[in-house]
Copies of this chain bind each other. A is one copy, B any other.
């Protein structure tokens, strides 16, 4: 099955998943603490029987009994050598029960360990384990993959990247949320849905942990992500442990009522997790049978994300900005420490810039003579441990860009691609794979065009190329390039002109590094501030600036107020940076 076939199906109907496998196996005598996947070998009929009960109850997709069948989880039971067998058998059992009318979803659950820096499992190890399991599930004939009960977005990213290695497979990505509306590791439903959707998840959703009533609140937040199809497989209420035995209080009728509400909120895939039984699935299936599948209108809002937050960049509200300071160019000390593997100064720059209001941090570790990809990986991990903002992965080295994209938990932006074919063909697949946004410089093999019109031409080429790679133009930030005003004096106006022209003609976003305007001139901050004010007026979406310059931050806050992007003047009035400027100069 292809991802697009699942989407076609979801346009036609609400898809009914099965309920809990574990709940049913424990009911049938599986002892708590044992490994449920071993039954695939030791008692396949029990598993098959559960599948049949769900199919009879109305399930249109059944999940393989492989939730814990990854190498890392199985190691805990000392049966890491059984990964292949357990996954193969599970698919065989499910397929036997499913026949041709019911779909088999290969179930992938968490490793049980936390990924670095939250725990000590490396991203690459997790990725390898998921890739191994997904490979077996697909080889054995699973129709689609469901990655579920993930409480860490980073682990989900590793699993999703692993599954996507096998081509255009339909993938359902279900996170599990706490009562506070976030995953244990802090991600909110909107952010998880957006990040996973950008990375190619066919359906995003939630399962387990919460009952249907609490799930509703999560679904409302997930639905804000727009566009992507949603799934929900809550528990049958919250677990109630009386006398050491888990029980769930929610009746089939209650769950069915909420299932209708979920569909109304945009959910296309419904099922159940812990505590749900064939009776629940039957009730759900009957309850939604007369409902039409929800329409999911595409939502092209531009965003970046970090683990805990989505940052929309849509030209309304105070202008977000990229902090430029993590860059060793012309900064000897910083370069030296990066070279020596000391990321303390990088962390300090990250902290200070975020404290000064930076919404995004540019990360450039391009010190000559180092292993840039490894330095980028360390920088991204160090920064993520300290602050939580989206990153701009800044390098001319594709390996370094890939390292940054891989280890960053969220949606980063690539800085940068340009109009040269070589660059486009190297970088665009990375943007696609990691679901990253993209900065496109208006230069190509023949250099930087002098006129705004010619820069538009280069931007157009970048956009067309990117769209061929499936990257929406709304996620492309064109950098019209700021040349040093001391040398190219007529170019500042051309850059400003290019900003409004390119926005208008191509409907893309614009980004601009401001500081270069004053390269080689005195009183740099005065010039930077004036240029920034003009660029904001011209419609610049994302300035790259030095957040530690009060003049520049002051100019940005003032410009937002003047362009009516700071509705109550709160950013202007309450920005600590502006206050600092003012103290110095009033």
Contact = CB atoms under 8 A, between A and B. Distances in A.
Interface of A: 485-486, 489-490, 492-493, 496, 517, 521-527, 529-531, 533-534, 537-538, 550-551, 554-555, 557-559, 561-564, 567, 569, 572-573, 578-579, 581-582, 584-586
Contacts of A572: 521, 523, 527
A526 B562 contact: no
A101 B531 CA distance: 67
B526 A489 contact: no
A476 to B, nearest CB: 25
B533 A529 contact: yes
Given A527-B558, A529-B555, A530-B558, 6 more contacts: A489-B567, A493-B564, A521-B572, A521-B573, A527-B562, A551-B551
Contact of A521 (B485, B517, B569, B584): B569
15 contacts: A485-B562, A485-B569, A523-B579, A523-B586, A525-B582, A526-B554, A526-B581, A526-B582, A527-B572, A529-B555, A533-B533, A533-B534, A533-B555, A537-B537, A585-B585
Given A559-B534, A562-B534, A551 B493 contact: no
Given A530-B558, A533-B533, A584 B582 contact: no
A555 B562 CA distance: 15
A559 B489 CA distance: 11
A514 to B, nearest CB: 11
A582 B522 contact: yes
Contacts of A493: 562-564
A563 to B, nearest CB: 6
Contacts of A557: 526
Contacts of A533: 529-531, 533-534, 555
Contacts of A524: 586
Contact of A569 (B489, B554, B564, B585): B489
Nearest to A526: B554
Contacts of A517: 562
A561 B485 contact: yes
A582 B582 CA distance: 14
Nearest to A489: B564
A493 B523 CA distance: 28
Contacts of A489: 561, 564, 567, 569
A525 B586 contact: yes
A36 to B, nearest CB: 61
A526 B555 CA distance: 6
A566 to B, nearest CB: 8
A564 B581 CA distance: 27
B573 A581 contact: no
Nearest to A583: B523
Nearest to A495: B562
A562 B563 CA distance: 20
A533 B4 CA distance: 51
Contact of A561 (B527, B563, B569): B527
A496 B537 contact: yes
A54 B572 CA distance: 78
Contacts of A567: 489
A262 to B, nearest CB: 40
Contacts of A563: 492-493
A490 B526 CA distance: 26
Residue among A490, A527, A567 having the largest count of chain B Cβ atoms under 10 Å: A527
B584 A523 contact: no
Contacts of A581: 523, 526, 585
A226 B257 CA distance: 88
Given A534-B533, A534-B537, A562-B485, A585 B525 contact: yes
Nearest to A490: B564
A522 B555 contact: no
